[in-house]
Chains A and B, each alone.
Chain A
């Protein structure tokens, strides 16, 4: 069972994690023997060059994919022993996402996009909560707009509102500012950290941007599928 009531429990615990892809009978090791633990409230950046395995690691941590060997424990639950629907439930209850390319549903309005995680939980006062978050990200007046009627920065703000709507304990951000210009990127970054503080969320960011990584408590550096450093920011 998911155990998320105790404050001292590790939010995320990775042991001897590997991911190997088989293509044309050739094995490609993308992640090799990854071990780390993340505590509640920590903000962590996973950095590394392209192809170092950052996104694969994020996918495994969030239960979007299955490891070839090793374990991923999210709030004490071993993701490897859960089926896809059980992992979906775990994500919905505990996890929020922010993507580089926003990943909003194009056929739903901004408001509808934000309500989805709440609706999936069967929460009450869904619309009010979603509007409150949209207000918080400064998009109250754009709530009925569709994604293609919003700018990139606005879309990422909707994405932020959606990520926080189910009050996740753990937030994954995959290059959250990668598709935005510097100024807009800075604003989104600020909003992300502000919201993270307000909601007391554990944050894991995958990024190239060392400046962004510098704002987190801890930086895990990957190279060729291995952790080459795991350091705390002062």
Chain B
């Protein structure tokens, strides 16, 4: 094979075609750009996690739990050399005298020089050190902005007044979103007691921080002590754990982003395949001449393969450059979700990976139409209407291409998701969508042919007939547009359902305030206060905290030591908050056994009711025995029923429910649920409650919902940003398919013009064809997306599925109008120029 010559011909032939081939390039640019941007972002995040794990954790070893350190563990902890610090964390109300405001906050009482790595960033800078010496506090910057607070202003926590030393600008250990629910206030450790917030039953998290010398192996210490700490429900975290946790948390985001990129790439590949298909069609006569002059079929194939290969490389390079530029913006889009700073730098491995994957898939998709070149007969030079037999589906090489595409995509998907099943589901889904769209296009062609409306006007008949005439674009456009519609519409349906579910929680009849930490003797006054505001007592719930001691005749320790027993550690170790009542409430449903509401005589067997999922986690069945430790006293109970709890409703909910007549005299606190009619009443009520009962926490559910809504909005913004790649690629595919395929229609349009068709007639003929294709593609795509979103909502999100027609209608109109607009835009050449000019230019 004379490669030099073939390359020269490929170049000579391409140089007059740059316009058409540019569309081919643009089909792949965005897909590759999305892939490179996301992979670079991912690569940088992995590096940042490595770099910042120590400063995020703030220490080498952190021991934490929801109780203070048991005496038996002290020796092990004291044996750790180096610096130590500790922190108590509890949720409480803050009262702001300046504007009589109040807010549910997360109080962190700090002792020692934590953080050992990284630092608390404050304004003024010295505040991070001074607050401990001055007995003042650091307050979250967003909280201070909300209440117009400045350093020097006062804040009341429990019984103690504090002066704010400075603004807290960063948040160690947790994402920025967590502080949206309860802003953080740092107080000196020695001031905690005077707040009187630490009471029996208070929910406090304890953390012990250690910085160790270099020669000390923190992971080894963890290995040696893990078991003992676990048995006391205390967690140990090292920097390596932190790194692993962050990587794991980020992996889901990364998988999602990569799937979006893959979808863009796939759409781009459809664009590649369709533009090459039409390009080859336009080249048939040239190829026949080459063949007639003695060129071998493989040589003819090589000429066009070289063109596509070079353009594929060019497109991938442009995509990689664009992707590297786009990744600079990704931290701005996703930064809110990440508990660390992302540094953006060029990631060569990602660029190379994106380039190679893009090129492989592009070449494979382009090969399918390119292989047809080998079958083009030289006889076409003598008879332009000659058609080859046995091409296409019977060519084993074409099937090998399809197989190679599936294999390449499967490998890539597997590397993304780490699960063969997920990769298979995605591949099968895409194949099914392709298949359905292909079937629909075939069906349409047949139906239009069979039931052709012969009495319609000439213009409409011409437009309709374009759907099935030789060289029609029905299949290619229906598949590419339909797939684009499916992706877009699925995205919008799922997004609207998520947002709707969140909003439903805030619906009018739901209570919107929960007060907890109420001592039993405060309940009477608090109820009166609530009634004085004309607010209902929706729920009044006593809560007793206890721990599980054992079940089914074995202690908790024995269960947890048994690796064959399918018992979840969190379920066994958690401090159980229990209530007692004689009825089930409206958010609960009895699904097995019998609910017992009262114990008649002291000493009778105690029958309790468990949440079904919770029982499953502990491997407990109906009738099984459970032993609880209630403030040192052991209580043996029997499980008599299972309940299903509706978690979406705004009520208190309990995994363990006791009957009346058992816990009435146990140490307990009360929870009160009420509903404020509006924001003003809520603010006044909250402020008065905090003033009169400093130990009572008031949680404003509507503000939590607002925060949750904000988070979801940010997430959906991020999702839309990424989906933008798919949408843009889809549009380019649409544009390139239509522009390239206009050459199919140009001869007859010119001929019609020559024969006297008016500009508007030509436009109407084309409009009919593109409108029909747009409507059919959008309609089919939407049907598939309804199925796809139903699957996502039912199997991934566990929501009730409802179709919302608005987003669907918008997607439908968008696709139809874009198809029509781009279709007509591409015909403007034919209608605006004289037939002769177009004849000489385009027929060639």
Contacts and interface: CB of A to CB of B under 8 A. Distances in A.
B157 to A, nearest CB: 80
A16 interface: no
B297 A85 contact: yes
Interface string A53-64: 001001100101
Contacts of B383: 55, 59
A213 B283 CA distance: 34
Interface string B754-774: 000000000000000000000
A183 B381 CA distance: 25
Interface in B269-323: 285-286, 289-299
A143 to B, nearest CB: 13
Interface of A is mostly: helix
Given A117-B293, A148-B840, A174 B382 contact: yes
A107 B294 contact: no
B242 to A, nearest CB: 61
A164 interface: no
B532 interface: no
Contacts of A91: 292-294, 378
A210 interface: no
A107 B12 contact: yes
B381 A64 contact: yes
A232 interface: no
Given A103-B289, A106-B286, A108-B9, A65 B379 contact: yes
A148 B286 contact: no
A113 B409 CA distance: 41
Contacts of A59: 379, 382-383
B386 to A, nearest CB: 9
B844 A106 contact: yes
B292 A105 contact: no
Contact of A64 (B2, B13, B382): B382
A89 B294 CA distance: 5
A58 B382 contact: yes
Interface residues of A, number: 37
Interface residues of B, number: 32
B99 interface: no
Given A112-B12, A116-B293, A148-B841, A105 B381 contact: no
A230 interface: no
Given A88-B294, A106-B286, A119-B2, A64 B844 contact: no
A55 B2 CA distance: 32
A184 to B, nearest CB: 18
Nearest to B17: A107
A52 interface: no
Given A55-B383, A64-B378, A106-B844, A116 B290 contact: yes
A55 B292 CA distance: 14
Contacts of B14: 107
Interface of A: 55, 58-59, 62, 64-65, 84-85, 88-93, 95, 97, 99, 103-109, 112, 116-117, 119-122, 146-148, 162, 166, 174
25 contacts: A59-B379, A59-B383, A64-B381, A65-B377, A65-B379, A85-B296, A88-B378, A92-B293, A97-B292, A99-B381, A103-B285, A105-B13, A106-B286, A107-B12, A107-B13, A107-B15, A107-B17, A108-B12, A108-B13, A116-B295, A119-B2, A121-B294, A147-B844, A148-B840, A174-B382
State the 9 A-B residue pairs at the shortest beta-carbon distance, nearest first: A92-B294, A148-B844, A119-B5, A91-B294, A106-B844, A85-B296, A64-B379, A107-B13, A64-B378
